[in-house]
Structure formats: structure tokens, C-alpha cells
Chains A and B, each alone.
Chain A
């Protein structure tokens, strides 16, 4: 399980780091069970920001050329799943709000990019870049643009279920999705290979669901958790080739209709 996004900035100090780590609802307790599994087809997903940026009509570059020595299968805007693909374990009944969650803002994105939390869970956005950010919630009146200097933090809590998008006026590539899910029990982020491990505090029947860019991807997988760890033998496919090809084709047609950036100049 990848929990690196919960690390604290050195500015916060060791004590704060320890206390925040304690707040993580994904942190494992000694006797908690774990649901292990593997994701497939995640390289067929497309990061919406990067996919948009490669369209020359958006003037994102003056030149963009593939390196021949890199295999074609890698030359797609697939997401960095340790930050962008959130594996959520949903309980059968609504769950209480979790302890505060730290979201790092830096490097042109947030960490994590997609997160699933129960409503009422407080999110703390910390700027880890050496320059300012201006985060705001798209259509969220309680999350208006405000300047954040280096190391500064601001908080926001999703009050109701739903999907919320966070953007940055100072960094167009920064887009974050917050999914407020009442039944959320626990989440985890996969490794680069797609392997994940979700901690479960209470035995019971759960549903495993992957979220990407604020949307569900792949099928929901029911999981029954007892005292022992659960190892899902079947990989969870988050995107199939046919759907990916269809999306790719639609995007290509859209790009063909739009005037080329160079032509516009």
C-alpha cells in the first residue's frame, strides 16, 4: 500500500508529522486485516490534464516529439496511479468522518490527485512548492481562491456526499478530485505495478471500488473480511482496451476538428 502522500513537510516538524500520521485512516493497526489485490488496465486510463495538454490546439507547447527509443506502449498519458488511482473499501453502512487528511500541493499537482473520504472529513492543503498557489473549489462557494505561500496550509471539509474538484489559479495543470462517500471505510493507493493493500479495521462485508479523476473506474468487487487478510486473486480491470480505443478515437476526431495551434499563429 502506498501511503507516502501522507508524509509531512519538514517545515511542520517531527512532532506534527507524527501527529498527522496518527490521523491517517489508512494507517494500519497491529490486528487489522488487509485486502490485497492488483489492478489491471490502468495504463489505458488517461490523465485528463495531460491528455488535454498534448492537444496542440491548447497551445501547451511549441514542439512535442516522441523519442524513438521509448516503446510506443509507454507513450500514452496514463496516470501516475500511486497518486491518482484511489482504491476505496466501502462498507455496507454509512461511516463516520475520518480524522483530518493532509494533501500536499506541489509539483504541478496535489498528492493525492483523487481521494475518497466520508463527508465531514477535514482536508488540509499544504503548499510544498517554493512559490505561491491559489487553490479554489470549482463551483464551491466555501472554497474560494486564496493565496498560499510556501509551506502555508488551508483547510476545507466536504459537508455533503458528492464529487468536488479543486483547481489552482496559479497552476493550470493542478486538478484534484475529492469524492465524499458516506460508506467509505478505508482507502489505499496502488504501486506503479498496480498492486494495492487496503487496511480493514472491522470485519464485515465490503465493496472494493477504484476511483480515478473523481469517477469510478472498473467494476466494484465485493469483499468479505474476517480476521485474516484477504488476497484477491483476480485482478481488477479499471479500463478495457475497447473503451480506451473509443476514447482515444473520439479525442483524435475532436483534435482534428479544432484548428491547430501552429495554424492559429
Chain B
């Protein structure tokens, strides 16, 4: 059983190692997922930053169409000439020109709002910013982006007004020898539409925020956009992020273990106002070793080497079964076979050397037990019942002669005898003999020394004997009995259809003599009484040692 036990220990260790590896893999997977999420978030943040900058550049190029429009330039010159009030005529012309140019803008490059600003910073005309409609004092000249445009620069900015605006501005020139006549300012609102557009082009989940509140968001379909609401609760601790305050981009932060976020400040005035954008991703993590089953998709499952796993499992099972066959089933089978041989009498004792391990010890102990039982004169008889066992100690020879055997009262047999020779053996009262249960205790008062023994007629022992009888002269009483027994035995054999060729009395006597001596030596009996009976359809002899 050593191999089996080793296999169990090996399997136990294997399961332990597999469990440890699963937890290790879980930790590594989660760590790798967190690292990948961090890298992805940084990438997202960069992509969004580049997109915002590139989008502003592309849109600033669209502003050229406004800058080269002659009507716009002329209306600005007229506005500049009056430092008290923008002439209505200039406003009307500017508005008409703005609408005309704006109508020709590509849809994907169009602005949400366009402002035409004169040298004084006053808004001469605007489109898309209805909040300022009718406000003659509406101006934008104080913002650096507009001031720069009025001084010959193209640049972008992010303004936080009533909403967050991405703004680009460029000068409008009427006379290149003079200061620019004014500036054209284009603005895009960072609303949900912009965020969705940005998300679709960058693949990032993004939310814009200002003043501690999310103002817009957009996310891919695979991302739960409700997760973006959680950033609101994170703003308070964001103030303590040194990288965010100094570099404008926070470290990757995980909110409630459900969403990874990186915050970035928007360039421009929004930077100082704490406005920015957050990119978010859901972390790739599993709750435990069994979380892999939930996380794995069809592709993962397809990549798993199921055949190898099954082969390992089958191999382990087969090895285990093999060990159990070798160390359990096969020894038991062998032992059973040997014991069966012992039971059939094919062998006298078990051979411990043919067994291994515990079976060797069992066989040895069994042999010792058999030897001890035999040394005590044998155990309870397991053969057919006989009168002695049923009736107790049989009386001495004279009494035996007075005993009535069923065969004696039956119709005459070819040769009469004094011993039992019929089957079944019956009790003196004519009742059938109850088979003796070997487990029953011996009858009380039974003399242990009056043991009986059964000797069956074996072909190899007796068959060679001649049926011829010897002389019947003056013989000892024992020999006379033996002759009677011989006659009964021959008669019974003939009744049973057995051959009696060569079955001589001399051989019969020699056999009885050898048996008698043997039994007398073994049991210390004074004499041995032989009788005949039928066993399994054959004639058999029964020897009863007597001490009287």
C-alpha cells in the first residue's frame, strides 16, 4: 500500500500546490490587470489630451475662412472706428457675414459658437451663444486667448463660463501694416455630445468636470457609464494629489474597487479653475480563484488545453487505480485463491512467501492458528454428522453391539455388518440425523478424548486393493471387526456403483492398521472403531478412536 499512500500524499500535495497556484495566479492576474489598467488609463489620458489639442488645431484652421472674409474685416474696421459703441450697421454686416461663412463649414468641423471681436474686445457679432443676445456690452477682450488673437496669435484655451468651452481664436486682418482689425473666436461646448464623440474616437470612457461636479460624459458601450458618477465623490481627495496639482495629471486611482480613474486638468484658464477630464476603465480583476470562470470568455476557454487537463486527470486516476489494483485488489485476489485452495484441501497450509505485506503476516498467523487447532486435536468437525457427535460418547463395544442402526432393521443387504452403512444415518429413534452445526457447542458431558475421525475411501489408497478376502481363521476380535467392515464397505461400494476390482482385504487391512496406529498415536486412544457410510454418493469409512 505504500505506492497508493505515496500517491495519495502526492495528489494531496498536488491539490495544495494547485490551490496555491490559483491564488498566486489570482493575485498576479489582478496585479497585472491593475498595471494594465494604469497603463491604459495613462494612454487614454494622453490620447484625449492629444485629441483635444489636435481638434483645436484643426478647428483653428477652419477659422481662416472667417479671417479672410472681406465683409467681416470691413465690419470690424467700422466697429473699431467708434470707441464708444459698436455701430449697428457694423453688427448687421458682421452677423450676415458670420452666418454665410459658418454655413459653409463642414459639419464635423463646425463650432457650437462663433464670436467676432473688435480691437476693443467688444463682441461685434456672434452665433450660437444666445445667452448674450441683446447684450450690447458683451465683450471677450479680457481673456488671454482673445487678447493674443488681437495681437497676432493663433491659440487655444479652455474657458469655464456658464459651461466649459474649448476655444480657438485667430486674428482677422484688414490691413497687414496695422494691428489686426479684430479676432474670430470659435468655441465648442464640452457637453455630452462632445464627450461621446471624443469617446468614440479615442475609445476611452471620459467625463468632464468643473467645480467639483461632472458636467458631461461619454463612454463606450462596453463601459457602465454610471461608474463615471463615482468620480464626484473622489474630488475631495483629489486636491491632495501632488501630481495632479503640480503636473495636472493624477495618479491612477481606483474608486471603491470598481473603476480606475485618472484625472487630468484641461489646458487654459480651466487649469486654474480645477476643470478637467477623467478617463475611466473598469479594472480587470477576479474576486478569487473561481472568479476566472466568470471572467473567462469563449476565447479564453478555447485557448485552455482541455485535452491536457483531461489527460492529466485520467492519468492520475489511472495511476491511482493501478496502485489500488496492485496493492489492494490483486493481493486480496491471490489470498482468496490460496485460501480457496486451502479450503478445497489442495494445499495443507498457506505459503506466506507468496504474499506481500500484511497478507504475508495474515497467512503466517493463519497457519499458526491451524497448527494450534490441530495440536489441540482439531476444531469442531465440519463434515457430515455422525452419531457420536449427536448422541455424545458412544458406549464401549458391548454397548455398541446393542445399538440399533437403521440399516439393521431395513431389508437385508447383501452382507450384514455391525457398523453403520446406510445413508442417511438415523438416530436410534428412527429420526433423521440433524446436521451438526460446527459452531454449536459440544454436547455436555462429552469426553474430549473420545474424538472421532472420518476417513473416506480414496481411490488412490484403496482402489488398488483386491476385493478378494483373506483367511477367516482364528483372528483377533479387531480383525474380525475389520473383516466385517470390509464386507460392509465392499457391499456399500457396490451399492453406490463403485468398482471393487483389486480391492483386497489385505490392502484394506493395511490401510486400517496404518490409520488406527496414526489415530491412536495422535489421540492416545486404546483402539479405533471403523464403520462405513455413504458420503456424497460414495462409500466412506469412519474411524472412531476409543479410550476404553
Contact = CB atoms under 8 A, between A and B. Distances in A.
Contact of B144 (A66, A173, A265): A173
A106 B138 contact: yes
Interface string A60-81: 1111111101110011111010
Interface string B220-235: 0000000000000000
A131 B162 CA distance: 5
Interface in B164-179: 170-171, 173, 176-177, 179
A62 B144 contact: no
B307 interface: no
A50 B155 CA distance: 13
Contacts of A191: 83
A26 to B, nearest CB: 14
Given A4-B84, A47-B147, A59 B120 contact: no
Which bracket fits the contact residues of A?
35 or more
B140 to A, nearest CB: 5
A76 to B, nearest CB: 7
A174 interface: yes
A7 B82 CA distance: 14
Give the dominant DSSP class at A's interface: loop
A9 interface: yes
B153 A106 contact: no
A107 B151 contact: no
Nearest to B162: A131
Contacts of B53: 62-63
Q: Which of A10, A71, A107 has the most CB of B within 10 A?
A: A107
Nearest to A4: B84
Contacts of A50: 144, 147-148
B6 interface: no
A109 B170 CA distance: 20
A49 B142 CA distance: 9
Contacts of A70: 151-152, 171, 173, 176, 179-180
Interface string B326-366: 00000000000000000000000000000000000000000
B88 to A, nearest CB: 14
Interface string B41-61: 000000001001100110000
A59 B147 contact: no
A54 B83 contact: no
Interface string A95-107: 0000000001011
B357 to A, nearest CB: 76
B237 interface: no
B162 A108 contact: no
Interface string A3-18: 0100101100000000
Interface residues of B, number: 59
A63 B156 contact: yes
B152 A67 contact: yes
Contacts of B135: 9-10, 128, 130
Q: Which of A61, A65, A74, A170 has the most CB of B within 10 A?
A: A61
A4 to B, nearest CB: 5
A82 interface: yes
Contacts of B137: 7, 9-10, 104, 106, 128
Contacts of B161: 129-131
Interface in B491-539: none
Contact of A62 (B56, B80, B162, B180): B56
A192 interface: yes
B87 interface: no
A244 interface: no
A59 B248 contact: yes
B20 interface: no
A63 B145 CA distance: 11
Contact of A60 (B170, B247, B249, B268): B268
Nearest to B85: A4
Nearest to B64: A67
Interface stretch (B269-277, B290-298, B397-405, B461-469): B269-277
Interface in A42-61: 47, 49-50, 53-54, 58-61
B106 interface: no
Interface string A152-186: 00000000000000000011111000000000000
B420 to A, nearest CB: 120
Given A49-B144, A62-B52, A108-B146, A67 B247 contact: no
B248 A78 contact: no
A174 B138 CA distance: 15
A234 interface: no
B147 A61 contact: no
Interface in B90-145: 119-123, 131-132, 134-145
B324 to A, nearest CB: 68
A246 interface: no
A174 B273 CA distance: 13
Contacts of B157: 60-61
B159 to A, nearest CB: 8
Interface string B254-282: 00000000000101110111000000000
A264 interface: yes
A2 interface: yes
Nearest to A132: B162
A115 B147 CA distance: 21
Given A61-B145, A64-B153, A74-B151, A106 B83 contact: no
A58 B123 CA distance: 27
A161 to B, nearest CB: 27
19 contacts: A10-B134, A59-B268, A60-B268, A60-B269, A62-B49, A63-B57, A63-B154, A63-B155, A66-B154, A70-B171, A74-B152, A82-B120, A107-B121, A107-B143, A108-B141, A109-B141, A130-B131, A192-B83, A265-B248
Interface of A: 2, 4, 7, 9-10, 47, 49-50, 53-54, 58-67, 69-71, 74-78, 80, 82-83, 104, 106-110, 128-131, 170-174, 191-192, 261, 264-265
Given A65-B154, A71-B177, A264-B248, 9 more contacts: A59-B267, A62-B268, A69-B176, A75-B152, A107-B139, A109-B121, A171-B142, A172-B269, A265-B248
